[in-house]
Amino acid sequence: MKNLRGMTYEDILQEVTALGAKPYRAEQIFTWIYKRGITGIDAMTDVSKVFRELLKEGFFIGAVDVAAVRRSPDGTVKLATRLEDGLLIESVLIPDADRLTLCVSSQAGCALGCKFCATGMNGFIRNLTLGELTGQVFAAQGLLEEGARITNAVMMGMGEPLLNYDNVIHFTGILTDARGFGLSHNKVTISTAGIIPGIERMAREAGVNLAVSINAATDEVRGRIMPVNNKYPLAGLVGALRAYPLTGRKVITIEYVLLKNVNDSTRDAEGLIKLLKGITCKINIIPLNPFPGARFSRPDDKAVEQFANILRNAGLTALVRFSKGADVQGACGQLAGECPSASHSAC
Ligand code: SAH
Ligand code: SF4
């Protein structure tokens, strides 16, 4: 049996064709599944009963198992979803003015081992399937009040999206398909720790936004806090960003987690300015979100503003992302045993 919530339009087209149906059936089914969010095949009222029975023999609509929900007074909602094999993954809904952003996990755990990230400290378990990626949207939609809808999506939860490339790109395709979740391309962002081949593929294949976690201005510092830098050092990474095609008003988002006495000096800020020359970008500064066992601390607010101002004075756009939902993070973080990043406003 196959989960229709884990299938692309092309997958469905292939299946219905194999069942001897006309291509328009695929469009109907895809729309019912993702746009209308039905939970049973019988809800496809414009599909004949005979064909629905045929579908039921090989397909189902996977239910989502929301294991825990934590609501913060600031409006952030963190949800843990239980997967078929018992694993828990997290997603976060972040309301902000007229936006409602869903922060999605791409993997259970993460293999990249960044020293400031709880997910990285806990190691890698497995990639999430396409059904588990779309499942996070359905789980979040189930918690929305009447009339509310998700306006933005960011792949900034647990895991490295570009190491689960195919599923993530299929997922962003469904997010941005008018027959699917219907978000516009510039409302969907993939965040990477700097997997260069993935960035190069995205440059050719994906129409969604790119965010890159730079986090340091030299290989020396970056290598210490992000082991992935040893495989993909800064020169190659910024080269890939310079070559990245940007259409219209698009910019690359540069994420910079600020760690006290590690990457928060004036020299670090100046190094970052130099590094980013020639890249059309905006910088999101994220003061470290501490977690139990973290080896770093968060600079005080004044130091954070100072760092941001050096960048601004050099003509860069720098936003400070103060954490949202920090009060619900502990509880949920323990539940899934993972990433504080899923609960902060990098999302
Ligand atoms: N693996 C991807 C996406 C998930 S992490 C990536 O690294 O980009 C999403 C963001 O959270 C990254 O920018 C990461 O640098 C940041 N992050 C991780 N741990 C954090 C912490 N403890 N405090 C603040 N930001 C953190
Ligand atoms: Fe993985 Fe991103 Fe955490 Fe690094 S910051 S360990 S890449 S999830």
pLDDT over 70 percentage in the chain:
93
Give the separation between CA 140 and CA 142, rounded to whole angstroms.
5
pLDDT band at 325; cut points 50, 70, 90: low
| Ranges of H-type helices in the chain | 9-18, 24-34, 49-58, 118-122, 130-141, 165-176, 196-205, 219-225, 228-231, 234-242, 266-275, 301-313, 326-336
Q: Which of 127, 163, 258, 341 to mutate for ligand 2's pocket (most ligand atoms within 8 Å of CB)? A: 341
Can you give the pLDDT at residue 327?
A: 62
pLDDT for residue 132: 98
> 2-60 in CATH: which number?
1.10.150.530
Q: Which amino acid is at 246?
A: L
Mean pLDDT, to the nearest integer, of 303-329?
A: 87
Average pLDDT over residues 144-158: 95
Token pair listed for 30? 């895809």
Are 2-60 and 65-328 in the same CATH fold? no
Predicted pLDDT of residue 292: 83
Per-residue pLDDT band for 338 (boundaries 50, 70, 90) equals: very low
Ligand 2: centre distance to CA 119 (Å): 6
Report whether residue 134 contacts ligand 1, using a CB cutoff of 6 Å.
Answer: no
Q: What does the block give as tokens for 74?
A: 């600031």
**347 in active site:** no
| Residue of 110, 332, 339, 347 with catalytic role | 332
- Ligand minimally distant from the alpha carbon of residue 228: 2
With a cut of 80, say whether residue 98 has pLDDT above it.
Answer: yes
Classify domain 65-328 at the CATH topology level. TIM Barrel (3.20.20)
End-to-end CA distance of the chain: 34
Domain boundaries, the chain: 2-60, 65-328
Q: Is 1 exposed, middle or buried (0-12, 13-18, 19+ CB in 10 A)?
A: exposed
Which residue(s) pair with 77 in the sheet? 71, 93
- pLDDT band at residue 293 using 50, 70 and 90 as cut-offs: confident
